[in-house]
Structure 1
Amino acid sequence: MDRKLGVSIFPHQSTYEKDINYLKRAHDYGFGRVFTCLLSVHGDKEAIIKELKDTILFAKGIGMEVIADISPRIFDELNISYKDLSFFKEIGADGIRLDLGYTGSEEAMMTFNKEDLSIEINMSNSTHYIDNIMDYRPRASKLMGCHNFYPHRYSGLAYDHFIACSERFKQYGLKTAAFVSSQAASFGPWPVTEGLPTLEEHRELPIAVQAKHLWATGLIDDVIIGNAYASDDELEQLSQLNREKFSFSAKLVDRLTELERKIVLEEPHFYRGDVSDYLIRSTQSRVKYRGHHFEPLNTRDINRGDILIENHLYGQYAGELQIALKPMKNSGKTNVVGQIAEDEVFLLDYLKPWDKFELTRTGG
């Protein structure tokens, strides 16, 4: 299932010109989704159409998918029935996200709407809600899940709860999404502005690390920036991520040979299947460069997250790349050639035997 990047816009908190500029920049960086919120709007139907339609149609015009967040209360305020979703088609939306739902039967019926809109369900409550919907035989191709975001510090989802909720949706093969938080953004749909992540543990992390973590779980497809507006640097960081393969940022030591640098950054890597408690082993480089004389370099003792290449003193292991999972003594036969970025070391726990991965250079 394709993985998309998304941004959020809140027209009632900003201006048309600022939103359009943000959408242009996000599109240029390869973002394909837009989240917008109708939960905090007030006023008559015509005013809402006028305020939202131009922005949404602009996003649609540049090829971005737009999902509008609503609830049964908004249906009532706008005098809309779940049986007739033409209002959302009229404002240009590709789908609606139900922040609060119905009984399951209504949601299933909504997936057959004549406007062909996607119906996105709130994923953040670990109940049998999605099971109830599936019992009513929805059109699964038009049913998706998306977690909440949390503007109040310490109110974001606990990790174990997040996993349990996400697994409920993924067991049905549904497309899923969750939010990351920009450290540069200043607003969201509500007055509180303490970030807008799904997971509380993400609130202070760099945005790229948040996205890597969501994808590393294997349970989230689309990653959406919850708050606005993310910086160009953050948009670029996300745009450069490998969405399909584990990617770790690496700081390399000085004085590496050109071949060692190539092994780290250019050779394909996979986690060898006969696992060790101490090492992630990527062994193809030792096969490819058999016979090369790898001189000892930086043979200090080893810490978790260190990137290693065995030198010629290790005989047939020379040229093998490894990532340390635990501290180890160094016999002098192992070159410490770099370190996984400190913020990303925890992601090593998600790498499984036979997973493919890459190392990208950062700093130093």
Structure 2
Amino acid sequence: MLGTSIFLGEDLNNTVKKNLLSMKKHGFIGIFSSLHIPEDESAHYSKRLKVLGEWATELEMDVMVDISGSVLSKVGLSLDRPQEILAIGIKGIRIDYGVSNKQISDLSHFMKVSLNASTLTETDLVELKREGANFNHLEAWHNYYPRPETGLDKENFTKKNQWLKQHGFRIVAFVPGDNILRGPLFEGLPSLEKHRYSHPLDAAIELLIDCLVDDIYIGEPGLKKKTQKQFQSYFIKETMLLFAEPEQQSIYATLAVGLHQNRWDAARDVIRSADARLKKIDDIIPEYSLNRRKGSITIDNQIYGRYMGEIQICLTDLSRDKKVNVVAQIVSEDLSLLKWCKGGQSFEIMLNK
């Protein structure tokens, strides 16, 4: 599942809802929020939480709210009255600290409860089982880390996830956004430190493929429109959407636009469009020879004989070749996505407007 974040420190106005609508349209069905409330903001948070619940119900999205201690009482709710929490559209509670395993067990019979994936211990599991927790409603969520250098290490993160999987937990983690970063630091909100300045989709794929994560949430409230399209394309259409800039010296850039599939016998140095040479095209005239940088989109010209028309994307820097026309360049922010175009992966090239 994909999710986004909405924070209650500011008014939930039409702009916020419009952004949420866009995220839902592009495949995001979860909402994460937090109830760490300043002393003089209880009334505002109570109102905004209800608005968020109404939006989620309207859009058929699931809201998970992060709490600690007795913070729910500040907005007139209580863990002892879970029906009231559900009634305002909140589907789950993420427990941070200050809540006993007995309370968690009781709550798990009414709603989804997420536990801190990084701090959960064997002792906690024993206590939860003894208290009769409904493990079908328990999930393990990792934190996000606003301060640079404090995010988690991939190796230890993955080892902890292996342990969580052995106990049947669904695992959730965060990747940074790329649109409006959350203050006061504006340094991204990733679970893994290595993802702090990464392309959100690159980070998400790594968590899913390498780290045993099940659900991905964007730490910030939303993504750029083009990044939303990339998430939708990858997770719904199973196609990697790549944006490119045309090479000004080439007249063939538009030939590379559209859907492709990397050959199943994937090459080391390039992504090869499996069916590009099967399309009927006019002769590709040799153009001014250019160095092929990582991300260069190329089309073999008539000097290459039967290879004429083959479309490739360079995975590494390659020297110029008079038999190969460089027609476009994958934009720099999308270069990290190329490594996930394995054999058989569908991909789409779209030129920036």
2:125, 2:327 → 1: CA distance? 49
Structure 1 residues 184-216: Cα deviation after superposition (integer angstroms, max 9, x where no partner)? 3453xxx655443333344345xxx22343135
Give 2:227's aligned amino acid. L
Structure 1, unpaired ranges of 5+ = none
2:19, 2:29 → 1: CA distance? 11
- Checking the alignment, whether the CA contact within 8 Å between 2:161 and 2:171 is kept in structure 1 is no
- 1:68 Cα deviation after fit: 0.6
Map 1:10-159 → 2, pairs under 5 A: 10=8, 13-15=9-11, 18-19=12-13, 21-29=15-23, 30=25, 31-40=28-37, 49=46, 52-71=49-68, 74=71, 80=78, 85-100=82-97, 110-111=107-108, 113-114=109-110, 117-124=111-118, 142-159=137-154
TM-score normalized with structure 2 length: 0.76
2:137, 2:48 → 1: CA distance? 27
2:172 is equivalent to residue 176 of structure 1: yes
Aligned to 1:240: 229
Map 1:307-346 → 2, pairs under 5 A: 307-346=297-336
- Checking the alignment, whether the CA contact within 8 Å between 1:181 and 1:202 is kept in structure 2 is no
1:34, 1:357 → 2: CA distance? 28
1:344, 1:311 → 2: CA distance? 26
Q: Cα gap change, 1:184/1:75 in structure 2, threshold over 3 Å: closer, same or farther?
A: closer
- 1:144 Cα deviation after fit: 3.7
Aligned to 2:261: 269
1:140, 1:295 → 2: CA distance? 64
1:128, 1:54 → 2: CA distance? 38
Q: Give the RMSD, CA atoms, in angstroms.
A: 3.9
Map 1:160-199 → 2, pairs under 5 A: 160-165=155-160, 172=168, 174=170, 176-187=172-183, 193-199=186-192
- Checking the alignment, whether the CA contact within 8 Å between 1:34 and 1:67 is kept in structure 2 is yes
Aligned to 2:285: 295
1:295, 1:127 → 2: CA distance? 65
- Checking the alignment, whether the CA contact within 8 Å between 1:310 and 1:334 is kept in structure 2 is yes
- Please, which moves more after superposition, 89-98 or 133-142? 133-142
Q: Cα gap change, 1:223/1:141 in structure 2, threshold over 3 Å: closer, same or farther?
A: same
Aligned to 1:224: 217
Q: Cα gap change, 1:252/1:346 in structure 2, threshold over 3 Å: closer, same or farther?
A: same
How many pairs does the alignment contain? 339
- Checking the alignment, whether the CA contact within 8 Å between 2:3 and 2:32 is kept in structure 1 is no
SS in 2 for 1:157: coil
1:353, 1:130 → 2: CA distance? 42
Structure 1 residues 225-258: Cα deviation after superposition (integer angstroms, max 9, x where no partner)? 4345x5xxx4423332223232222222125446
Q: Cα gap change, 1:249/1:160 in structure 2, threshold over 3 Å: closer, same or farther?
A: farther
- Checking the alignment, whether the CA contact within 8 Å between 1:70 and 1:99 is kept in structure 2 is yes
- 1:4 Cα deviation after fit: 2.8
SS in 2 for 1:313: helix
